[in-house]
Amino acid sequence: VFNAETAELLSHHQVEIKQEFPREGWVEQDPKEILNSVYECVERTCEKMNELNIDIANIRAIGVTNQRETTVVWDKTTGEPLYNAIVWLDLRTQSTVERLLKRIPGKNKTFSKFKTGLPLSTYFSAVKLRWLLDNVEEIRRAVEDGRAMFGTVDSWLIWSLTGGTNGGIHCTDVTNASRTMLFNIHSLEWDPDLCKFFDIPMEILPNVRSSSEIYGLMVCFIYESGALTGVPISGCLGDQHAALVGQMCFRDGQAKNTYGTGCFLLCNTGQKSVFSEHGLITTIAYKMGKDKPAFYALEGSVAIAGAVVRWLRDNLGIAKTSQEVEKLAAEVGTSYGCYFVPAFSGLYAPYWEPSARGIICGLTQFTNKNHIAFAALEAVCFQTREILDAMNKDCGIPLRQLQVDGGMTNNKILMQLQSDILCIPVVKPSMPETTALGAAMAAGAAEGVEVWSLNPGDLSAVTCERFEPQINPEESEYRYARWKKAVMKSMGWESSEGPSNGKSK
């Protein structure tokens, strides 16, 4: 909960959502658990507000922000999900992608680039939905019976929170729609030709709205107190777009990098869609009202950032907590020539290479867990450098500093490493919840709510921590060149073809 006049964070609560890995490369979440986590966060946050003697009746609007691309299909008559949510970095659709590619002249992955801004990839929702229609009989029957609804996580939440089977609103915003590969980012409508190509029935798609308007009112009969009954839900942005807004990147050329499970660098390109020649994608940044123009962004996406720390903790067991990984890295201050390419889900921007897999190379008898921890953090920074290089080439104007946010930015070793590897300052806001802030700003600015002004002169100044480069550019370039060599060695490991159909090797 934020103060609309000062952007001050008043109260918050968070709940970790479990991920399920039913097979190698598969990543799922329970849609009901996602929804229940929202109910719990609303309840606990309102309790904290009461403890602080802040009247929850002053809450004027609700914003939703979510993992993009993650795909949910549910039954509109029962309100029940018809399958687990397929998470954005899930790889099961690689064979679907390869089958679709065979239908495209020259197997051109960027065949829809000028309509969608996206390459054909396991990353985006259309291929996940195609897989569900091909492989889940219950979903196929629900579509035939007219009972199925599709959405990214925002659609599932808004439909559920506005009443579900009792009049819930089935909608999404332009930022989430732009991540499906079914949406024309110029006409701002679902594209019939793309729906035909993927064989997706258009009647199951949500209505597309702006990022800032009243979608419906909160219906709270579903959880304990019903604290926010009747409050409008009036902001909706994919998480990375919300972070761009929360970082106040409203001007052409402003950029931010969010360090979460993955890493996402977005650069605002204004009302003009810029198409990359260097492996970046074009996406809608935001559209702040029904009658407001859409703004666009160039984006570089890295599949594995914070997830590599979780992997060191949970899979290798070299640390009990994420903070311990930072401590291990700090104790040595170097990878000692060890390089880690965490391509667990293939490589995203700028390579778009699903055949890549994770490797650790440059090992010697001297290498220990501290060096591997350092190499893992360094890998996050190298991946960001690759994206920033591509963005500088596409935009023609090098970034002078990088604005950052996300959970991993609490890791001071990582932030200093990032500045060293980029050879530019890294600037981190002291209030870390910029993604939530962006959703709150969109909700508060909506017509009919209008408690939050997005005029540049009215926006609150953001206090920041700054990290300056501490190594010389030659050393940075040397390490980066070695990293690029390691990346080349990570490619070509996996295919959906072969004796085991790619399920194991």
**Domain check: are 228 and 329 in the same one?**
no
Contact 502, 495 (CB under 8 A): yes
Within a domain: residue 132? Answer: yes
Q: Is residue 117 part of a domain?
A: yes
Instruction: Let me know: does 134 contact 97? Beta carbons within 8 Å.
Output: no
pLDDT at res. 501? 47
- Return the closest-CA partner of residue 266 out of 119, 111, 390: 390
Domain of residue 174, residue span = 20-238
* Residues 218 and 350 both lie in one domain: no
| pLDDT tens, position by position, 38-48 | 999 998 998 99
pLDDT at 321: 86
* Single residue among 213, 238, 263 that ends a domain in this structure: 238
CATH code: domain of residue 37: 3.30.420.40
Is 127 contained in some domain? yes
> What are the residue ranges in the chain where pLDDT is below 70?
221-225, 460-462, 495-505
Cα separations in angstroms, 39 against 79, 159, 223, 224, 228: 16, 14, 7, 9, 11
Q: Are residues 145 and 53 in the same domain?
A: yes
Q: Quick one: 231 and 360 in the same domain?
A: no
Is the same domain home to 215 and 323?
A: no
Q: Are residues 323 and 402 in the same domain?
A: yes
> Does residue 262 lie in a domain region?
no
Q: Both 309 and 216 in a single domain? A: no
Distance of CA 146 to the CA centre of its chain: 30
Boundary of a domain, candidates 238, 262, 281: 238
Q: Which helix (H) or strand (E) holds 281?
A: strand 281-286
Pick the closest to residue 133 from 204, 28, 78 (CA basis): 204
Rounded Cα gap, residues 402 and 427, in angstroms: 6
Are 87 and 210 within one domain? yes
Shared domain for 234 and 333, answered yes or no, is: no
C-alpha–C-alpha distance, residues 392 and 398, integer Å: 5
pLDDT score recorded for residue 86: 97
In Å, what is the CA distance from 283 to each residue of 300, 388, 422?
Answer: 10, 16, 24
CA nearest neighbour of 362 among 379, 383, 344: 379
Do 234 and 309 share a domain, yes or no? no
Does residue 343 fall inside a structural domain?
yes
pLDDT tens-digit readout, 245-278: 998 889 888 889 999 888 899 999 999 998 988 8
Task: Say whether both 213 and 311 belong to one domain.
Answer: no
Flag whether 35 is in a domain. Answer: yes
d(CA 322, CA 174): 34
**How far apart are alpha carbons 217 and 220 in whole angstroms?**
10
Bridge partners of residue 20, in order along the sequence: 28
- How many independent structural domains does the chain possess? 2
Does any domain span residue 290? Answer: no
Asked if the structure places residue 455 within a domain, the reply is no
Question: Tokens for 117?
Answer: 């801004």
Q: What is the pLDDT of residue 224?
A: 59
Gap between the Cα atoms of 175 and 288, Å rounded:
11
What is the rounded CA–CA span in Å between residue 420 and residue 239?
Answer: 27
- What pLDDT score was predicted for residue 496? 54
DSSP string, 85-146: EEPTT--TTHHHHHHHHTTSGGG-TTTTHHHHS--S-TTSHHHHHHHHHHH-HHHHHHHHTT
CB 325 within 8 A of CB 69: no
Q: Are residues 77 and 202 in the same domain?
A: yes
What is the spatial distance between Cα 427 and Cα 27, in angstroms, rounded to a whole number?
32
User: Of 208, 238, 268, which residue constitutes the final position of a domain?
Assistant: 238
